[in-house]
Amino acid sequence: MKNIVIYDTTLRDGAQGEGIAFSDQGKLRIVQRLDQLGVDYIEGGFAASNPRDRAFFQAARKEKLAHARLAAFGATRRAHVTAGEDGGVRALLDAQTPVCTIFGKSWRLHVTDVLKVSEKEALAMITDTVRILKEHGKEVVFDAEHFFDGYKDSPEFARAALMAALNAGADTLCLCDTNGGTLPHEVAAITAAVVRDFPVRIGIHTHNDSDCAVASALAAVHVGATQVQGTMNGYGERCGNANLCAIIPSLVLKMGCACRAGAGLKRLREAALFVDEMANLQPNRKAPYVGESAFAHKAGMHVDAVRKNPRSFEHVVPESVGNQRRILVSELSGASNVFLKAVEMGLNLDKSAPEIKDILRELERLEKEGYAFEAAEGSFQLLIQKVLKAHKPFFVLEGFRVIIEKRRKGEPCLSEATVKVSVNGVTALTVGEGNGPVDALDQALRKALLHFYPQIKDVVLTDYRVRILDPTEATAAKTRVVIESSDGTATWGTVGVSPNIIEASWEALVDSVEYKLFQEENKAKKKN
């Protein structure tokens, strides 16, 4: 069984991606999470780049890691200075990490057109930098920048760059597809040649500019590479880096490789979502293995097949990567979708029960009016309850009013909502202010219900999406609003449709609160 070392560069190469920024504390928390996942190396940043990265290395020294080794990243020495005099090399040593990763030129084009030095000097820059780091007891990873482009241009010089690093004592030679344009079959052929001729650990570092980063990394492993560099969720400059959240399960579940991160595979989705949260980014719903849609089934025939044998439409067991199966409901739904949703809710229904057909008919009717339940499972579960005549409204609306006021230029609009509801015959009238009319309605509704239902205290809106259903109707068009809510543990979606955007929002808000109360009621029943 081939043992593969996982090298994470989320905090350095990943942080170079557009729109990605980590807080100082966020970076330390990511280090801990990656260590728990079983990642072998964590590259913390560019040691000579900026004061924040230098401060990170100082703080990271205090972190107690169970397994991962921290790496500082930097360049070879500058041209025509000694390694001991080079500020970047000193910054690498000052980082005091057990591992130092340096990049050097392996493409002649960069030597002649970018560095503007001789090939002899370029190779000496690699040799001198690796040697001084080894003299200080560092484990050295040499990233051969633009290696595949360089190899296709001049195999002799690309190999000479590797040999310079190897002879100076580098522990790992990492082949980098820095431009991301090399295709997997080329990566495989070139990597195989390097593995054959260089008696040292060979790594692979791919970018996703041709949408082949993961495939290229796996192809390199197939022919002998034993270190894989990448980032969580595929973050990175331009189109991103090889996505470790796809690479790790593919190595373990598909290729039969051993890696420390394989032991933490059931925590993979959780780790992916955590890193997204630290980057303040919406998770990619369609991400392989860890995305919310990775094991979502919509077509009725597919759902029926999955119910009979999950392997029919699932390439791995969802729980093996910390994910779960989701059954979607839409105009493509069949009885199997509705049946499995009913089972999820704990309802004792037979697949051929007439109630299943009633639910399908109501679903089709509502979808003709513009409702969509794929991202509104909370509303769909309430729909089932209503069709089965098992739904009991938790409150009754007696009226609401929304006021938006603009006083003078340059000042924000003021939004105020008044809500009047009754609960078991008791009326509550409350006022809420918010950043907009929906936020104000939400605040007012919570105030009105909190006394009766303290369970909603932790419910917050996490997303709000509006879709105009028929743009040709312009401002008179029907609007669909989907709201995503969370109580810190679970997340659910609800939907509302109306020609009036405020009414559509109110409908989705009501479903959000009722779904939470419905779930709490079910929990209480199970306990009793």
Task: Answer whether 369's CB lies under 8 Å from 496's CB.
Answer: no
Percent share of the chain, pLDDT over 90? 57
Beta strands in 328-412 (DSSP E): 396-405
Integer Cα distance of 43 and 133 in angstroms: 16
* Nearest of 427, 468, 464 to residue 448 by alpha carbon: 427
- Strand order of the β-sheet with 426-434 is 396-405, 414-423, 426-434
Grade residue 470 by pLDDT with cuts at 50, 70 and 90: confident
| 289-347 tens-digit pLDDT | 999 888 877 666 666 676 777 777 778 988 899 988 776 665 555 555 666 666 665 66
Alpha-carbon torsion, ordered 429, 434, 437, 439, to 10 deg: -90
Query: CA-based angle 487:488:490, to the nearest 5?
Result: 70
Cα distances from 91 to residues 15, 27, 48, 77, 96, in angstroms, run 19, 19, 5, 11, 9
Domains and CATH numbers, the chain: 5-279 (3.20.20.70), 296-368 (no CATH), 396-527 (3.30.160.270)
Q: Which residue has the higher pLDDT, 86 or 328?
A: 86
Q: Which of 235, 274, 251 is nearest to 8 (CA)?
A: 235
Mean pLDDT of 66-85: 93
What is residue 66's predicted lDDT score, i.e. its pLDDT? 92
The phi, psi pair for 363, rounded to 5°, reads -60, -45
Share of the chain above pLDDT 70, in %: 92
User: 402: closest CA among 421, 420, 417?
Assistant: 417
pTM above 0.85, yes or no: no
At 405, the pLDDT band (50, 70, 90 cuts) reads confident
Q: Band of the pLDDT at 388, cuts 50, 70, 90?
A: confident
The Cα-based distances of 400 to 40, 434, 465, 478, 498 in angstroms read: 57, 15, 22, 20, 16
